[in-house]
Amino acid sequence: MNFEFDLGFSVIAPIIVISALFVVRAKNLIHAVLWLGATLLGTAALYARLNAPFLAGVQVLTYVGGVVTLMIFGVMVTRRHEGIEAEASSEGSERGLIFAAAFFVLLSVVIWKTAPVIPNPAPIATSAQLARVLLDDYLIAFEALSLLLLAAIVGAVVLVRRKDPEAVTKLRQGSALPLVNEVES
Amino acid sequence: MTLTSCLILAGAVMAIGIYGLVTRKQAVAMLLSVELMANAANMVFAAYGHFRGGPSAQVFVLFALAITVAEVAVGLALVMLLYRRHGDTTVDLASEARQ
Amino acid sequence: MSPSNLAIIATLAPAVAALLLLIVAPLRHKGAPAAWVTLLGSLVSLGSAIMLLVGRLGGAADVRVTTPWIQEAGHSMAEIGVLIDGVSVPMLIIVCLVALCVQLFSVAYMHDEPPRAYGRYFTLHAMFLFSMNIVVVSPNLLQLFAGWELVGLTSYLLIGFYFAKPSAAQAAVKAFWMTKLADMGFLFGLLVLFVATGSFEWTSTPSTQVATWVTALLFVAVIGKSAQFPLHIWLPDAMEGPTPVSALLHAATMVAAGVFLVVRADPLFAQAPATREVMLWVGTTTAVFAAGLALVQKDIKKVLAFSTASQLGYMVAALGAGQAFAGFFHLGTHAFFKALLFLAAGSVIHAVHSNSLEDMGGLRKKMPLTTAAFVIGALSLAGVPGFAGFFSKDLVLSSLEGKGNWIPWTLLMGSAFLTAFYMGRVVIKAFWGNESEKSSHAHESGIAMTGPLMVLAIPSLASGFLGGWLASQVKAEYHVHLGLTPIVASSMAILGIVAAIVVFGRGGKAPFTGVLEKLDTFSLVDRTWAGGYRIGLLGIASVAGWVDRYLIDGLMNFTGWATLEGGASARKLQTGMVRDYALMVVVGVVVLVLIGVLR
C-alpha cells in the first residue's frame, strides 16, 4: 500500500474528525450544534474532493442550512431558564468509550482486510447524469421519498400541536404557557 | 486518498457518533450524534461512488440525506413533547419502561 | 374338560376371588362376604384339583400347555402356562385341601376381628392361594419365580397382619428381607441358566460347571424360603401372624415351595453333585439344630416353627442325597400333619387366650377333640409306625443309608429322637398335667374349628399308605421293607416319647436345657443378620439417601436457583433508561461485527 500524500484529504479528514469529537464532548449545547455544522461543512468539502460537486452543494443546503438551523431552534425552544446556556453533560463515558473504540477497531480490521486498491477513479458525474439516474432508474423510490417527507411533516405537526383551546388563545395573546400539556396528545 | 482511508474516516466518525449517542444525556445532543452517524454512512456511499462507479451511489446519498432530514424533523417534535411533559430534555425522564 | 383348563381354573379361581375383593371394597369392608368369596374360590380350586386327580387315576398322561410370554424378534424367550404331571397334581391337591381347611378354620378363629380386618385377611388368603398355585403348575423356572415372589409378598402381608403391633410389623419386614435376599440367588441362577442355555427349562443340559452354579444359586433361594440354617430365624418370628396363617404358609405350603423347587428342578440338580453335597449337610445341620432349639421354646407356636425348620431340613437332606421322591413324599405328609398341629394349637390358643405353654395344662379333659387331633399330628411327626410321618421319614432316612452318608444318617436319627422328645414335651405340658389358671377356663372349640381338624387328621393318618401310588406318579421306586432304617427310626421315635413322659411327666427339665436356652436367647445367627442389615443395608441406603438428597435433589434445586438468579440478574439490564438501551444496540452491533470478523 502506497500513501500518496494527498493535501486535500489530509486537511479535510482531521477537520471532520476533530469537529465530530467536539460535537460529542462540548459542554454547551449550542456549541455542540455549531460544531456539527462544522463537521457537515467538512463533509461537503469531502464530497467535492470525491468528484461529487452536486452532492456537496445539496449537503450544504440541506444539512448546514436546514438541519443545523432546526437544531438551534430546538435547543432554544427547550431551554428552561433564561440566561443560562443549555448544557449537555455526559455520563458513563467509560462504557461508551470502550464500546465505541471496540466498534472502531473492529470496523477498521474489516475494512483493512476487504477494501481493495482501486487504480482508476471513475469520471466525474455531471448533474445531468445524476438527474437521469434519479428520475429514470429510481423513479419509484423518488416518489416514495416525497411521500415520506410529506408524512414526516404532517407527523411532526400533529405531534406538536396543542389540543387545549385555552392554550392556543394564550399563545396568541403571547402569555406564558404551562409546561405540561393538560390534554394528552 | 484511497478507498480504504475514506472508509476508515467514515468508520471513525461513526464511532464518534456512537460514543456520543451512548454518553449524552440531553435529547438534542443525542440527535446530534445520530446526525453524525448518518453522515458517516453517507460518506461511505460517496466514497464508493467515486472509486467504484457511477452516479447510483450519489443517488443513494441523496436518498439517505432526505430520509435523515425527515427523521430529524420528527425527532425534534418528540423532543418538544418531552420538554412539555417534564420541563427538561434529559432523556432519562422518558424512562417509563421499567421492570 | 381338558386337564390344562382345569389347571388354569384351579390357579385362577382364587385370583378372581382376590380381584373381586380388591375391586369391590364394600365386600371386603363388611367382613363376612369376603370369607364367602374366598372360600368359594378355594372350593373351585380344590374341585378342579380333584378332577385332575381323578383323571390321573384313570391313567391320563402328562400335559403341558404353554403360550409365549416374553418375545424377542419373533421367537419366544419364555413361556407361561401349566404343566400337569405326577408332581403338580398331588401338590395341587395338598395345597388346595390344606388351604381350604385353614380358611374354614379361620372363619371361626378370626371371628373377633373387626370386619375390615376380617375382609382383608380373606382377601390375602385368596391372593396367597393364587400365588402358590402359580408355583405348583408352572412349566418353567421363570413362571415359578414369578409365583415365588408373589408368595413372598402375600406372606409378608399376612405375617404383618396385625401391623399395628410393632413386633408383628418387624417380623414381617424381617421375613421379607431375608427371603428377598435369598431370592437374589434365584434371580441370578435364572440369569446364568438363560445365558448358558437360552431357556428357563429345568430339563436343559448345560455343562456341569454351569449346572453347579445355577443349582447353587437356586439353593440359596431355597435356604431362605425353606428356613434352612443360617436363614432360619425369620420363621420363629413369623409366628406373629395369625395361627391359621402359620398353619398354611409356614408349615405346609410356602416354606415347602423351596423343597418343591428342588423337586421340580431335579434334572438340573442331578447334574450338580457338588450342590447336592452341600444340600445334604445344610439340611442335616438344620434338622438337628432346629430340633434342639425346639426343645426349649416356651411358646407353642415357636416349637412348631422350629419343628418345621427341622423337618424341612430332612427334606433338603433327602434331596441332597439325590432322592427327590423321598423329599417330595415327606413334603406331602408333613403338610398335612403340620397344618393339623398348627390348627390344633390355634384351637388351644383360642381357648386359653395365650401362646405360652405355661398357661396350658390338663387340657385333654376340657378339649378332647383338639387333644386327639394334636396327638395324631404329634405321633405322625414323631414318626411312630403306622402314621403318615413314619413312612415318609423312613424313606428319607433310607435314602441316606448305604451311600457313604452314615454321618448324616446318624445325625438325622438323633434328630428323630429329639423330634419325638420335644413333641412329647409339648403334648404333656399342654394336655396332661395340672391345669393352669388360664386353662381351667378353657372349653372345646366349636365345629367350625374342630371340623377342619378332623378333616386334616385323616390324611395325617393315612397319607403314608399312598406312598406307592405317589411314587408311580413320579416314576420313582418305592417299597416298604423291613431293614435297619425303619427299625432304628421307630426305636428312636418310641424312645423319644418314653423319655418325654419320664422327664416331663414329672414336671422336670430336659438335660442341656440351660445351654440350649442360652443359645436360643443369645441367637448368634439373629445378631449377625441384624448387624449385617444395620451396617450393610442401612449403610448403603444412607449413602444412597445422601446422594439422592444432596446430589440429585441438589442438582434440581441448583437448577431452580440458577434460573431465578439468572432471571434476577438479567432483569437488571432492563433499566428502562433510554440511554442504556441505546448502549445495548451498540453492543449488539459490535458483537455482530465481531462474529463476522471471526468467521
**How would residue C112 be classed by pLDDT, with cut points 50, 70 and 90?**
confident
For chain A, say whether C592 makes contact (Cβ under 8 Å).
no
Least confident window among A20-34, C109-123, C326-340, C351-365? C351-365
Which residues in chain C are closer than 8 Å to A95, comparing Cβ atoms? Answer: 583
Q: Comparing C109-123, C142-156, C419-433, C454-468, which segment has the lowest mean pLDDT?
A: C454-468
A1-86 maps to CATH 1.20.120.1200: yes
User: C131-145 in b/e burial notation, b at 16+ Cβ within 10 A?
Assistant: bbbbbbbbbbbbbbb
More confident residue, C542 or C466: C542
**Contact yes or no for A103 and C583 at CB 8 A:** no
Contact C578 B96 (CB under 8 A): no
Chain B: give the shortest CA distance to residue C557, in Å.
26
pLDDT at C214 over 50: yes
Q: Which residue has the cell 460537486?
A: A53
| Cβ distance of B30 and C576 shorter than 8 Å | no
B99 contacts on C by Cβ (under 8 Å): 571, 574, 576
Contact between residue C162 and residue C89 where contact means Cβ atoms under 8 Å apart: no
Task: Find which of C574, C579, C587 to mutate to test the B interface (most B CBs within 10 Å of its CB).
Answer: C579
| Shortest Cα distance, chain B CAs vs residue C587, angstroms | 10
DSSP 8-state class, residue B54: S
Strongest mean pLDDT among A73-87, A158-172, C552-566? C552-566
Q: Is the pLDDT of residue A1 over 60?
A: no
Q: Work out how many CB contacts closer than 8 A connect A with B.
A: 244
Cα separation, C186 vs A73, in Å, equals: 97
Torsion of CA C8, C10, C14, C19, to 10 degrees: 20
- Residue range A78-116, pLDDT digits in tens: 776 554 455 556 666 777 788 888 889 888 888 888 767
| Residue B83 touches chain A, beta carbons under 8 Å | yes
**Which grid cell is C187?**
434371580
Q: pTM here?
A: 0.68
- Structure confidence by residue, pLDDT tens digits, C297-341: 889 999 999 999 999 999 999 999 888 888 999 999 999 999 999
CB-CB under 8 Å, B21 with C574? no
The answer to whether the Cβ–Cβ distance between C579 and B97 falls below 8 Å is no
Strand partners, C66: C81
When mean pLDDT is compared over A126-140, B27-41, C23-37, the highest value belongs to B27-41
Tell me which of B74 and A184 has the higher pLDDT. B74
Question: Using a CB-CB distance cutoff of 8 angstroms, which residues of chain B are in contact with residue A63?
Answer: 35, 39, 65
Highest mean pLDDT among A12-16, A125-129, C351-355, C579-583: A12-16
Nearest CA in chain A to B44: A47
Measured between CA atoms, how close is A24 to chain C, in angstroms? 15
Contact C575 B95 (CB under 8 A): yes
Residue in A96, A100, A106 nearest the CB of C594: A106
Q: Tell me, what's the pLDDT at A122?
A: 63
In this prediction, residue C482 carries a pLDDT of: 75
In chain A, what are the domain boundaries? 1-86, 125-185
pLDDT confidence of residue C515: 78
User: Which range has the top average pLDDT, A24-28, A76-80, C283-287, C537-541?
Assistant: C283-287
Per-residue pLDDT, averaged over B66-88, amounts to 87
C-alpha to C-alpha distance for C308 and C290, rounded to whole angstroms: 8
Contact C583 A100 (CB under 8 A): no
Work out the percent of chain A whose per-residue pLDDT is above 70: 72
pLDDT reported for residue A184: 45
What domains, with CATH codes, occur in chain B?
3-90 (1.10.287.3510)
Inter-chain contacts counted by CB atoms under 8 A, chains A and C: 23
For A29-42, the pLDDT digits (tens) are 888 899 999 999 99
- pLDDT reading at A123 higher than 80: no
Determine if residue B72 is left, alpha or beta; phi over 0 gives left, psi from -120 to 50 gives alpha, anything else beta. alpha
Say what the pLDDT of residue A5 is.
Answer: 62
Asked if residues B35 and A37 have their Cβ atoms less than 8 Å apart, the reply is no
Cell of A155: 407527523
Mean pLDDT of A131-142: 87
- Angle among Cα C8, C13, C16 to the nearest 5 degrees reads 120
**Residue C191 CB contacts under 8 Å (≥ 6 apart), including other chains:** none
Q: Which string of DSSP letters, residue by residue, matches C404-471? A: T-HHHHHHHHHHHHHHHHHHHHHHHHHHSS---TTGGG-----HHHHHHHHHHHHHHHHGGGGHHHHH
**DSSP-derived 3-state class of residue C372:** helix
Q: Is the pLDDT of residue C61 over 90?
A: no
Contact at CB, A148 and B66, closer than 8 angstroms = yes
Q: B1-10, B79-88, C247-256: lowest mean pLDDT where?
A: B79-88
Poorest-confidence range of A93-102, C210-219, C384-393? A93-102
Inter-chain touch B22–C579, beta carbons under 8 Å = yes
Q: Answer whether C417's CB lies under 8 Å from C381's CB.
A: no
User: What's the mean pLDDT in C342-350?
Assistant: 91
